[in-house]
């Protein structure tokens, strides 16, 4: 069944940071960091800063908190580089550290946000197709805020950062089935939220999550 045409050709391309050559380069950088090479450290920091800043700013809604989490993460990378044995991909190792830092930061920053910055939902989706993707992102971000933190992180790691189920399992230190269950419940909630927010999902599909019945929380 290879090459069937119903598959959306817009499948996201493999991110360049996860390619084999990129992973090998990162392993080399980590090895140099273990020797105290600051240039290598700066290069690795630059490779991850953008994607972590985007991921964490979306998660915490505050760049200062995101920056703190990034620096806490790389502080550990600097100190523990000598312990990295290549048993996992460098990105999985680094994201695993960032995940634990972010989870704690998210819990404290979300409490601050609830008091200081009650955010209004974005306007309804436009009919202009060129703007729909951008607006969908705004709606998704708005809907993600309403998910439990573990489900939200699983969504971000899968959809935004493009990790496989096994990689997310490693990053979140949980079984593969738990990752699938978190995504299952997250999708069900998003599908209930999005039709109401912008008419994205057809009304007769509003409760399609039941199609995957049998998954327990």
Give residues in contact with another protein (CB under 8 A).
1-2, 4, 6-8, 10-14, 38, 42, 45-46, 49-50, 53-54, 57, 63, 67, 70-71, 74-76, 78-80, 82-83, 93, 96-97, 100, 133-134, 136-137, 140, 156, 158-160, 162-165, 167, 170, 173, 180, 183-184, 187, 190-191, 200-202, 205, 208, 211-215
Least distance between another protein and beta carbon 179 (Å)? 9
Least distance between another protein and beta carbon 117 (Å)? 17
Least distance between another protein and beta carbon 46 (Å)? 5
Least distance between another protein and beta carbon 116 (Å)? 20
Question: Nearer to another protein by C-beta: 111 or 131?
Answer: 131
Question: Nearer to another protein by C-beta: 87 or 115?
Answer: 87
Separation between Cα atoms, residue 27 and residue 91, nearest integer Å: 10
Question: Nearer to another protein by C-beta: 145 or 215?
Answer: 215
Least distance between another protein and beta carbon 130 (Å)? 12
Question: Nearer to another protein by C-beta: 10 or 217?
Answer: 10
Question: Nearer to another protein by C-beta: 25 or 58?
Answer: 58
Is the separation of the CB atoms in 27 and 86 below 8 Å?
yes
Q: Which residue has 């690795």 as its token pair?
A: 44
């Amino acid at each position: 069944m290879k090459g069937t045409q119903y598959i959306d050709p817009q499948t996201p391309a493999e991110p360049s940071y996860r390619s084999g050559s990129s992973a090998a380069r990162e392993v080399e950088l980590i090895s140099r960091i273990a020797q105290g090479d600051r240039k290598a450290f700066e290069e690795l920091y630059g490779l991850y800063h953008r994607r972590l800043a985007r991921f964490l700013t979306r998660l915490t809604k505050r760049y200062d908190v995101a920056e703190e989490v990034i620096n806490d993460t790389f502080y550990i990378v600097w100190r523990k580089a000598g312990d990295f044995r290549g048993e996992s991909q460098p990105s999985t190792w680094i994201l695993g550290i960032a995940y634990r830092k972010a989870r704690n930061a998210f819990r404290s920053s979300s409490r601050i946000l609830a008091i200081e910055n009650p955010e209004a939902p974005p306007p309804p989706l436009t009919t202009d197709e060129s703007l729909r993707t951008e607006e969908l992102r705004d709606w998704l971000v708005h809907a993600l805020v309403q998910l439990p933190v573990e489900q939200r992180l699983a969504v971000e790691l899968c959809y935004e950062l493009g990790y496989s189920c096994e990689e997310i399992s490693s990053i979140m230190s949980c079984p593969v089935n738990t990752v699938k269950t978190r995504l299952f419940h997250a999708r069900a909630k998003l599908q209930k939220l999005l039709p109401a927010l912008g008419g994205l999902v057809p009304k007769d599909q509003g409760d399609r999550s039941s199609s995957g019945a049998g998954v327990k929380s």
